Structure 1
Amino acid sequence: MKTAALRSALVSLVCLLSAAAFAASQDSAKVTPDMIQTGSDIPAHWTQPQGNFDYVQREVMIPMRDGVKLHTVILIPKGAHDLPMLLERTPYNASGFVRENSPHMADAVWSGDKDWADGSYILVWQDIRGKYGSEGQYIMTRPPVGPLNPTKTDDTTDAWDTIDWLVKNIKESNGKVGMIGSSYDGWTVAMALLHPHPALKVAAPESPMIDGWMGDDWYHYGALRQINLDYFTEQSSVKGSGKPVPRESYDDYTNFLEAGSAGDYADAHGFKQIPWWNRFAAHPAYDAFWQLQALDKLLAAHPSDVPTMWLQGLWDQEDIYGAVHAWEALDKAGHSANNHLVIGPWWHSQINRSAWNLGPLKWPGDTAAQFRQRVMIPWFNHYLRDTALATPLPEAMIYNAVEQHWDNFNNWKPASEQQLTPLYLQANMGLGFEQAGSGDDSYISDPAKPVSYLPRPIPVDNEDRWRTWLVQDQRFVVDRPDVLSYTTPVLTKTVWVQGAPIADILAKTTGTDGDFVVKLIDVYPGTDPTDPTMGGYELPVSLDIFRGRYRKSFSDPSAIPANVVQEYKFRLPTVNYEFKPGHRIMVQIQSTLFPLYDRNPQTYVPNILFAKPSDYQKATVTIEHGAEGHSAVLLPMVAGAGGGN
């Protein structure tokens, strides 16, 4: 008790002394004028000391011919003189390409530009019209001046005016410009090539948006890639970065299925406010709206002499169509000398990131970094810095994912010139190079239970699954009754395929419309001692979807006559692939790939985007491989294994 009382007394004494000390300090404190801030603690102008920076950053507004000014970010290595400029025009925020406040240029830029930020290039990024810091009105992939664009400006003139300003005002440059960019930014490169400025000496459109209806972002052969509707709100709802469509469910399969048609989904989320959606939705077929802005056709009609490297990925989940078709159109027009095709083992835009693997497929090194450093940058240097090339760039470079090396081709043939070997569907779910057996196989396609393109659930924000869905093991659908799987016997010799396979499907349906998904698959042996997880893996090599109403004409759709055999013939993505001994080849056929693509109601309606719930009907689809037609996948086969020609 005495101890407790003593402790209490000591605490009281300490408190009294502390209070007295605080009162004394208050009495002695004097407030001086420098202690009081009446305005904001944020200065009107802030200048960061950059004496230790190895570059100078400038932000300018470059005037276009109609007076509109475009926000442009320029990084110039300190002490630079006679350096070339690398230009990228983007709707994705030019300021965002300088991601870090670092004194070192290579550390300041985003990953895709680090190899270029070694002090030998002036780097330039520009916001296109109407986006982020640029003036003017934004129009999604603004069509070239002409019937769809009655103004006097487009992304061709804007690129010309930008380059003209740069070579006249950036005194540290040598007056030479290269252009680079992927996806939408690849589209801006392609637009610049329609009428290039004389100072544009080299270009690399990477996975460019070339034809949004035929096979890039918006449609594939008329089937809507509806999960890209998020992009419409992200790009077109505000000048800066918009938000994706809000979701009720974690699983996008549920979200789109419950919404009904794509048009119902869009209407429910305010899309009628977006002019781009209204134009888009009014043109579901390949009419003048799409044809007049198909850049492969425009580039062939107005070819440039600018050395150009057309790049894309073998498993590009967004723009697998554009680069190869632009190159083929230019080659056919007689301009292969200055145009080169590169197809790497990449997902969309992976050329600008690390690429040690693509999902479960592993490569011997970072294939993207190796290509940038060993091929792409030396090639740009040749035209922009007058350096010698160790070896000329071949007409085409296409990665061999099985042998895991690049194959070079000096006579790569466009799809229209390739010799094709039919791989026939056979009786008893067989597959072979000879017609064998007769008959057909049927399945019921039910729009209420569409086949998913990934195992469920399919969250909207899982970027890794989206990037690699084209290499997803297809065993997750092989047992569905609405998926037909035809398989060869175990191969005893290599089947080497170089080019674009063609699906040639003879089928009838009880509906009056319908879609056909065809997949060319490499079935691995049941066990793999080097990687057990790949035992029995069913790897998609090439796949696509075709909307049946366009079997006769992309611009003039027609109903499918019920229960009458029709031919559905369409091109699959380009490959350079070896089916090895011990493996098998599989062809899968189905009618849905959901929710990536919208559901076909299987009842003919004028515009599938606005199909009504009653329009969605089950249909029995019958695939012929006998007397009524020999369905096949036509393969561009070559002799030998590896190497090129």
Structure 2
Amino acid sequence: MTKYISKLLVALICLFIFSACSKEKSEKTAEETAISYIKDNFTKREVSIAMRDGVKLHTTIYSPKDTSQSYPILLKRTPYSCRPYGESEFPSRLGPNKFIMKEGYIFVYQDVRGRWMSEGTYDNMRAYIPNKKSDQDIDESSDTYDSIDWLVKNVANNNGNVGTYGISYPGFYSTYSAIDAHPALKAASPQACIGDFFFDDFHHNGAYLLSYFRATSVFGTPKDKPVDTAWYKTPDLKTQDQYQFFLDAGPLSNLNKYFQYESIDNPSLRKEDLVDDFFWQELIDHPNYDSVWQKKGIIQHLKNINPGVATMVVGGWFDAEDLYGPLETYKTIEKNNPDNYNTLVFGPWDHGGWSRDRVRTAVGNYYFGDSISYFFQQEIESRFFEHFLKNNGDQNSGLPEAYVYDTGKRKWSTYDSWPPENISRQKWFLNTNQHLSKFKEKEDFISFVSDIKRPVPYSEDIKTVFTPRKYMTDDQRFAARRPDVLVFETDILENDLTLAGDIHAKLQVATTGTDADWIVKIIDVHPSEMDEAPDELQDHLKMSNYHLMVRSEVMRGKFRNSFEYPEPFTPNKKTEVNIKLQDVYHTIKKGHKLQVQVQSTWFPLIDLNPQTFVPNIFKAKESDFKTQTHRVFTSSYIEFTVKNK
């Protein structure tokens, strides 16, 4: 019997190894097959395109080998490299999705100024220059214009129409392309696009995002010549417990050592030549929303979009990096350019999830369905570029103004505007009995202690990550059970409640200190007895009573009246703090409960507020950090945008 069991175990182990090897082999074969397809159907060419100031940008062109017809150009400008380099090297995919790759386009990739194989000096979110007076006045708009001008004049078999696209930072460059656009640019699709570094990515309403700490060197390490391999080095925290690491590190100034070039393996630099990472230094020098950040933001410059450029802004409702950017990009273009073709697509995705070649759609623990991204790629994205780059390109594209996914009902909706027209505003008050009510009770308050040594974690996960994407749908029960998190909840809903638009938290607060962060989270509390299970990815979690975070945001209290000119709180004085939470499209279904959580720490997603006023958080001292007691008054309320029946 023992011998039989031993043989069975050996057989099972061999079967496991064979299956793993087979899977690896099949994945490798799939990638090789994709590369072979591109080699067989496209000609690759690498060129250096001279900008108006003489700086040359490395550009890679993939043209269809079938030259019997002309093709539109799809251009992606990126700071993340247009590898693989070398005209004999090919990628496994071209274009924004695998369907477009086979539909007849010329695909162009470009390293932006100062990155990778391109010449020039890189500037993190280079400021737009509205009135250029000479060829030395360059920005990303002029670089895109010069690139498109060269492409339509020098790439064979192009039909004279160009489209731009990109996700995240490349999305920012796609937005930029529509300003002072080249006449050949007909379509731009900014996706998860950066809008302003003071409100997304590195900051949220003035609070510095520690989750981006390790990304700083990626954008702040200069290079002195074109390179085809990474020249920067991200900090090694030497631990998987980022909560403990940042708690032990103390003030942000203690992190300066990670951004000196002596921490980067570059023997050509002498010690006396070492300088700090230029972007980290920029963060230190500009802690407030001053003219530097105001110029770098792209949202305020979306006033003169060429009417000939159709825009399709794409985002994910659970994007941990860039939620502000795409929503504000769409809304600002719509407001300032009402006659332009401008459409919005938002689905149940994290950062860039719509572009992945994956059937299953889930964010963290929460499953939304199958083939949602494929639907977007085939029925929305491909149709957009097809219409504006190959067909007549008129306003009648057949696509709605807004294609949005209800993350509660788990289904798509289409509207002629966003937010939809049939909406109203509802106020829900924060009552002392932890009840969320439409009725305001007699003025009172709830207090809690915000212990600077025991900040509220943003997630239960113990790991070091570049950006914590899954936290956007994390179960919030762990936070609800802490004494320094206030919880306000409705009774079980008797009817569906569809949130469709932005959310505003109108808080009345007080603190024993002179500063504080205020975090508001909107939560869909699932029934204890579930008749359906969206998904369960972690063994210790069950969808029974799952506290799904629908939206959340922070306001650094000192910026409550002005992001440019911070001001302290007066201790123990009732003070108004307003927080705009970004849009949602989510139905809290009948049988669920709507919950609001309010807290003052969210660690280490954001840095610790000292809870005493300091002019520059990057120069705060250990002695500035104090435990304080905060109050939230019952005159506080959350204003929801609600879709009417």
Structure 1 residue 335: deviation in Å? 2.2
In the alignment, is residue 361 of structure 1 matched against residue 370 of structure 2? no
2:295 is aligned to 292
Counterpart position of 1:13: none
**Residue equivalent to 2:16:** none
Whether 1:73 and 2:60 are equivalent positions in the alignment is yes
1:310 corresponds to which residue? 313
Q: Which runs of 5+ in 2 are unaligned?
A: 1-34, 224-228, 262-274, 537-541
Corresponding residue number in structure 2 for 1:570: 579
Instruction: Give the 3 Å change call, closer, same or farther, for CA 430–382 of structure 1 in structure 2.
Output: same
How many Å apart are 1:206 and its aligned residue? 0.3
The aligned residue for residue 455 of structure 1 is 460
Q: Is the contact made by 1:143 and 1:149 (CA closer than 8 Å) also made in structure 2?
A: no
Q: Which residue of 2 aligns with 1:380?
A: 385
Number of the residue aligned with 1:525: 527
Q: Tell me if 1:482 matches 2:472.
A: no
Gaps of 5+ in 1: 1-47, 641-645
Distance 1:381 1:365 in 2: 25
Alignment match, 2:399: 393
Aligned to 2:515: 513
Corresponding residue of 2:330: 327
Structure 1 residue 267, shift from structure 2 partner:
3.8
Which of 150, 153, 170 is the equivalent residue of 1:168? Answer: 153
Decide which moves more: 226-235 or 543-552: 226-235
Residue 251 of structure 1 aligns with an amino acid whose one-letter code is D
Separation in structure 1 between the aligned mates of residue 303 and residue 327 of structure 2, nearest angstrom: 13
Offset from partner CA, 1:474-511 (integer Å, 9 cap, x none): 01211111111111111111111110010111110001
Aligned partner of 2:83 in structure 1 is: 95
1:149 and 1:422 map into 2 onto residues whose CA distance is 51
Once the two structures are TM-superposed, the CA of residue 367 in structure 1 deviates from its matched residue by 1.4
CA contact (8 A) 1:142 1:155 kept: yes
Q: Secondary structure at the match of 1:245?
A: coil
The separation in 1 between residues aligned to 2:412 and 2:529, in whole angstroms, is: 27
Higher gyration radius (CA):
1
User: In 2 relative to 1, CA 349–456 (structure 1 residues): closer, same or farther, beyond 3 Å?
Assistant: closer
Which residue is equivalent to 1:83? 71
> Which among 339, 350, 355 is matched to residue 353 of structure 2?
350
Map residues 90-489 of structure 1 onto 2, 5 A cutoff: 90-96=78-84, 108-109=92-93, 112-145=96-129, 151-213=136-198, 215-237=199-221, 239=223, 240-241=229-230, 242-270=232-260, 273-300=276-303, 304-335=307-338, 337-353=340-356, 354=358, 356-386=361-391, 392-413=398-419, 419-436=424-441, 438-460=443-465, 466-489=468-491
CA contact (8 A) 2:145 2:182 kept: yes
Question: Which piece of structure 1 moves more, 279-288 or 147-156?
Answer: 147-156
Note the C-alpha offset of 1:110. Answer: 6.3
Q: Which residue of 1 aligns with 2:40?
A: 53
The code of the aligned residue for 1:411 comes to S
C-alpha deviation, 1:366, in angstroms: 2.0
1:72-113: CA deviations, max 9, x gaps? 1111121233111110000001114999966xxxx7226954
* Partner in structure 2 of residue 11 of structure 1: none
Could you tell me how far apart the structure 2 residues matched to 1:592 and 1:52 are? 52
Q: How far apart in 2 are the matches of 1:268 and 1:64?
A: 35
Counterpart of 1:468 in 2: which secondary structure?
helix
Identity %: 33
Q: Is the 8 A contact 1:88 1:185 kept in 2?
A: yes
Deviations 1:557-585 (A, max 9, x none): 10001000111111101011111111001
Are the aligned partners of 1:450 and 1:592 in contact in 2 as well (CA < 8 Å)? yes
Q: 2:641 maps to which residue?
A: 636
Assess, with a 3 A threshold, how the Cα gap between structure 1 residues 267 and 420 changes in structure 2: closer, same or farther.
farther
**1:481 alignment partner AA:** P
Q: Which amino acid letter does the alignment assign opposite residue 65 of structure 2?
A: K
Give me the whole-angstrom Cα distance separating, in 2, the residues matched to 1:446 and 1:332.
Answer: 43
C-alpha deviations, 1:521-540, integer Å up to 9, x for none?
Answer: 00000122432721110011
Letter in 1 for 2:83: S
C-alpha deviation, 1:268, in angstroms:
4.6
What secondary structure does 2:398 align onto?
A: coil
Give CA-to-partner distance per residue, 1:445-473, whole Å, 9 cap, x none.
12211111111423236x7xx22110000
Change (3 A) 1:138 1:349: same
